[in-house]
Chains A and B, each alone.
Chain A
């Protein structure tokens, strides 16, 4: 009489190897996910913190009076006070946006801040190059301007000198962090009596 071969209890060596392999892969994958998400979260947090700082700086810049061309340039001491924790400038004459104007196609005001987890450099550009491309030229759109003068539409293709740039009464304010633009807006000079 033939005996049925009984099923043998336990785990075979092969099963063990396979199991360990699967575990290794899944645990490894999990570890990678954790590490990468932690790293990404750290990046996100860093950017959020710097963005929050950028908003704070932008509010201070928005609160400054526009000023006139004759306003003397701000000193480094004034800049340090403007971008410190309270933003109150006591040194020298009152500053205006015009006194903070930076050259076109050149670096703006650069500074680092301390007491944060991350390192980096803020840069602030304030000038009449509204699109920030370093020139006063660009393509004019095909809509008729709604300005008060004799408005003429562009052709949408040719690069020409732009009407709205290089106007001392209009300024772009842009804040960079480690070379990446965080925030941009525009300011216009107040018009007498308005």
Chain B
């Protein structure tokens, strides 16, 4: 039988596989995503890991290379041997003592600059990190905060024990003799070295002390270091031949006065008084005598008597009176007391002024009667104390006083007289006196005479010893960008404000070195300064003239001034300096020392004075001090009083001079590794 029911014509298809496949693809994509994410995490982690490893590997190799350079010797021409050998290689790379390349290369920053960049690269997997450091092949003497060649140096450190030890002395400290450290619990940040050992005074202890050390060094130290030579070899005269020499005064009598006026300076070239042989040209007029005659009026002597008045004297009788004195008897009281004494002890009180030592921070140039070398100041304070004394007091007395008669003159009376003969003027009369005068007779007569007549001029040349007084030779206005050499003294003139010259202190905006074949004398403060955009003078450091405030860098100072002072003999602080003096300069005394007027140092390093000096309240210095003999900024006598120099002192090392030392400052066979820079190569 046929079915009449119709079935749906829609044909149904069924298969889950496409769906499953689609889901599988989705799951696969998710899995891939997870895997990629993990891969990225892994890559990031690898980058973190390998960059870190590369960085510390590069740092480590740079450290080892710096050690090679620091311990290397120098050639006769002053080249660091390790640097020289690396530069000889084509790749300029350092090779360690075991013959393996370090990955550190040397690049000279500019020709003959003496500065090199050490670049240390390390690659771990595909990640490279580089570290570089700036190296100066030869250290300048300006790197020293204190350098004393022939005497012990006394110094006290900073009190802060926390890095970076902000009040510790900065810059290297070295003595070719001994260094004495003062006061306990002091810190030193930078290298401290001495040839003849370290001493510990005024509470400071060294490592050998039974209680252990209380003097802490955070840089390299060596109490048996090698001598640092070179100071006495400084060729001061050669400064005049430098390419940047602005003035070369090499005459035997030359000296100079200097005024610093920001970006220019006035240098007065003078010669001091002296005897000298001079060629003298003399012109002498020569005259000859000629016999001549002339007609003159004839004269004769004629008597013309004159009248005079004459006194007449004779003896006459004169009555002379006679007197006698009149006396009266009177009485007077005569005191006559004998006092007898005995000795007793009496207790008294008195208030006296004493002095106690207050440390002034980071300084080391004090001389004293006790031979101490600390910087700081003595503070007065009053204290009341009792004492006993033997006193003479009255025991008893015997009174012998009485009334006594005496004769007193009360007048005189006339008692008679007598006649005496005496000379008296009794009259006058006139007389005639001869008076011969020369009168003309009216006739003319011939007279012979001799007249000097000019003949010719003789020119003679001779050598004569001539005294030349102190005088100005010339005045120079120069830029503050070079060196000045003077064979004699260089005097930094006392500055006085005037309408024409508004400077009341030396101000330097530039880079200058002054070299003297004798002494450098400081009569006024010297500061680094530069005008800001508003025309106001900004000094490098603030409060140099006010010791009650912190001596600190000025954030508004944008200059880069550097002043070097090199003296063959001494650099001297003079009486005219302000009561609160500031000196911004690095000073070097080749054979003498940096000292206060009228002080000196004996062969054993003890300070002494020569006559009356001056006392000022404060000295603040920015810059190093290099001295052959012991420097003196204050002399303290047996009563702990400052008799010469500065009561308070503060010195700060100018760290800019590590990379920019003063022009012409001598260098020594020591390298210095400076700034460290990290960079990522890839």
Contacts and interface: CB of A to CB of B under 8 A. Distances in A.
Contacts of A94: 161, 216
Contacts of A37: 34-35, 37-38
Interface in A1-45: 6-11, 15-16, 18-19, 22-23, 26-27, 29-30, 33-34, 37, 40-41, 44
Nearest to B220: A190
B673 to A, nearest CB: 7
Nearest to A29: B31
Counting contact residues on chain A (CB < 8 A from B), the size range is: 35 or more
A114 interface: no
Interface stretch (B12-20, B476-484, B528-536): B12-20
A52 to B, nearest CB: 8
A145 B139 contact: no
A55 interface: yes
A16 B174 CA distance: 93
A192 interface: yes
A193 B64 contact: no
B20 A22 contact: yes
Contact of B99 (A18, A55, A141): A141
A41 B42 CA distance: 8
A103 B99 CA distance: 26
Nearest to B45: A44
Contacts, number: 200
B670 interface: yes
B97 A145 contact: yes
Interface stretch (A74-82, A104-112, A181-189): A181-189
Most buried by B among A47, A55, A58, A188: A188
Contacts of A69: none
Given A140-B99, A151-B85, A164-B96, A10 B222 contact: no
A154 B100 CA distance: 9
Nearest to B94: A146
B204 interface: no
B167 to A, nearest CB: 17
B212 A93 contact: yes
A134 interface: no
A170 interface: yes
A11 B14 contact: yes
A34 B99 contact: no
Contacts of A148: 68, 71-73, 80-82
A65 B546 CA distance: 36
Contacts of B100: 140-141, 143
A65 to B, nearest CB: 5
Contacts of B82: 146-148
Nearest to A161: B98
A34 B219 CA distance: 55
Interface string B1-38: 00000000001111111011101100110110011011
Interface in A157-173: 162-164, 169-170
B408 interface: no
Contact of B56 (A15, A34, A58): A58
B413 to A, nearest CB: 110
Interface string B239-264: 00000000000000000000000000
B370 interface: no
Nearest to A131: B98
A91 interface: no
A26 B64 contact: no
A48 B80 contact: no
A178 interface: no
A188 B72 contact: no
Contacts of A143: 95, 99-101
Contact of B98 (A27, A51, A162): A162
Nearest to A66: B220
A62 B221 CA distance: 19
B237 interface: no
B60 A184 contact: yes
Nearest to B72: A148
A148 B68 CA distance: 7
Contact of B48 (A48, A58, A93, A153): A48
B72 A164 contact: no
Contact of A40 (B42, B96, B139, B221): B42
Contacts of A40: 38, 41-42
B605 interface: no
Contacts of A151: 85, 95, 97
Contact of A65 (B53, B56, B218, B228): B218
B11 A170 contact: no
A48 B219 contact: no
A146 B41 contact: no
B31 A188 contact: no
B56 A183 contact: yes
A117 to B, nearest CB: 15
B56 to A, nearest CB: 4
Contacts of B31: 29-30, 33-34
Interface in B37-87: 37-38, 41-42, 45, 48-49, 52-53, 56-57, 59-61, 63-64, 66-68, 70-73, 80-82, 85-86
Contacts of B442: none
B191 interface: yes
A185 B56 contact: yes
A59 to B, nearest CB: 10
A142 interface: yes
Given A147-B97, A193-B228, A19 B20 contact: yes
Contact of A70 (B80, B96, B207): B207
B63 A186 contact: yes
Contact of A192 (B17, B53, B193): B193
A62 B163 CA distance: 13
B172 A193 contact: yes
B672 interface: yes
B226 to A, nearest CB: 9
19 contacts: A15-B15, A33-B34, A33-B35, A40-B42, A44-B45, A47-B49, A140-B100, A143-B99, A144-B99, A145-B98, A146-B95, A147-B97, A148-B68, A170-B67, A184-B53, A188-B66, A189-B220, A193-B172, A194-B672
Given A23-B24, A186-B64, A194-B672, 18 more contacts: A22-B21, A26-B24, A33-B35, A37-B37, A41-B38, A44-B41, A51-B48, A93-B212, A140-B98, A144-B99, A146-B86, A184-B57, A185-B56, A185-B60, A185-B63, A192-B191, A192-B221, A192-B222
**Which 4 residue pairs across A and B have the least CB separation, nearest first?**
A9-B12, A148-B72, A141-B99, A186-B60
